[in-house]
């Protein structure tokens, strides 16, 4: 028979025990701000214009659980034909953070194209650090992707 003390101790531990064994909340495959990838920047424009360009909702496209916006129908078609070519690495999460084994949001202004791939960063200051050893950070980030998203 359980004493009142044991029953109260068990009851107090139930909320904590309920958390044990639950899977961690996984991050979505693509970083998005309110469901929009790259905070609305056109991913193709990084390659064609060499700068972040705002996409337009009327040229939007759903891909990997996020809406991608494009500055033109032409850019949307280019993306549709080869999304892996234009989509940022690591789902648009910060490439430097991924190299450290975690995810972080990004801003459209902090970007780099390296070896034909688009990488995003948390901020311009983080991008500066990233650019000091891109190849080394890519190797580290690749070793963490996609595990850093959680299960």
Give residue-wise pLDDT tens across range 102-140.
999 999 999 999 999 999 999 999 999 999 999 999 999
Q: DSSP letter string over 49-75?
A: TSS--B-EEEEEEEETTEEEEESSHHH
> Is it the case that residue 10 has pLDDT exceeding 70?
no
Q: CA-CA distance, 11 to 7, in Å (whole number)?
A: 6
Asked whether residue 9 is assigned to any structural domain, the reply reads no
Q: Please give the Cα distance from 105 to 123 (Å, whole number).
A: 9
Number of domains present in the structure of the chain? 1
pLDDT reading at 4 higher than 90:
no
Predicted pLDDT at 151: 55
21 in any annotated domain? no
pLDDT surpasses 50 at 3:
no
Q: Both tokens of residue 37?
A: 């990838």
Q: Is residue 110 part of a domain?
A: yes
Residue 5 has pLDDT above 70, yes or no: no
Nearest of 150, 151, 109, 111 to residue 134 by alpha carbon: 111
pLDDT class of 92 with cuts at 50, 70, 90 = very high
Mean pLDDT of 68-81: 98
Global pTM? 0.83
The answer as to whether 124 is a domain residue is: yes
CA-to-CA distance for 19 and 12, rounded, in angstroms? 13
In a domain, 70, yes or no: yes
Domain span at residue 100? 27-149
Q: Give the chain's mean pLDDT.
A: 87
- Asked if residue 1 belongs to a domain, the reply is no
**Most distant CA atoms of the chain, gap in Å:** 75
Give the residue-averaged pLDDT of 45-61.
Answer: 98
119 belongs to a structural domain: yes
Beta strands in 5-146 (DSSP E): 32-33, 36-37, 56-63, 66-70, 111-114, 117-120
- Higher pLDDT among residues 24 and 70, named by residue: 70
Mean pLDDT of 70-93: 98
Residue 108 maps to a domain? yes
| Residue 31 clears pLDDT 80, i.e. is over it | yes
């Amino acid at each position: 028979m359980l004493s009142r003390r044991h029953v109260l101790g068990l009851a107090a531990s139930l909320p904590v025990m309920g958390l044990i064994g639950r899977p961690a909340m996984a991050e979505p495959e693509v970083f998005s701000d309110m469901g929009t990838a790259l905070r609305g920047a056109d991913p193709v424009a990084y390659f064609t214009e060499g700068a972040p360009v705002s996409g337009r909702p009327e040229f939007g496209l759903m891909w990997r659980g996020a809406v991608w916006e494009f500055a033109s129908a032409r850019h949307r078609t280019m993306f549709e034909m080869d999304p892996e070519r234009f989509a940022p690495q690591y789902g648009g999460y910060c490439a430097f953070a991924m190299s450290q084994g975690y995810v972080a949001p990004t801003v459209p202004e902090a970007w780099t194209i390296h070896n034909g791939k688009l990488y995003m960063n948390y901020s311009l200051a983080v991008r500066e650090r990233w650019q000091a050893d891109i190849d080394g950070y890519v190797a580290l980030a690749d070793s963490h992707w996609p595990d850093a998203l959680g299960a």
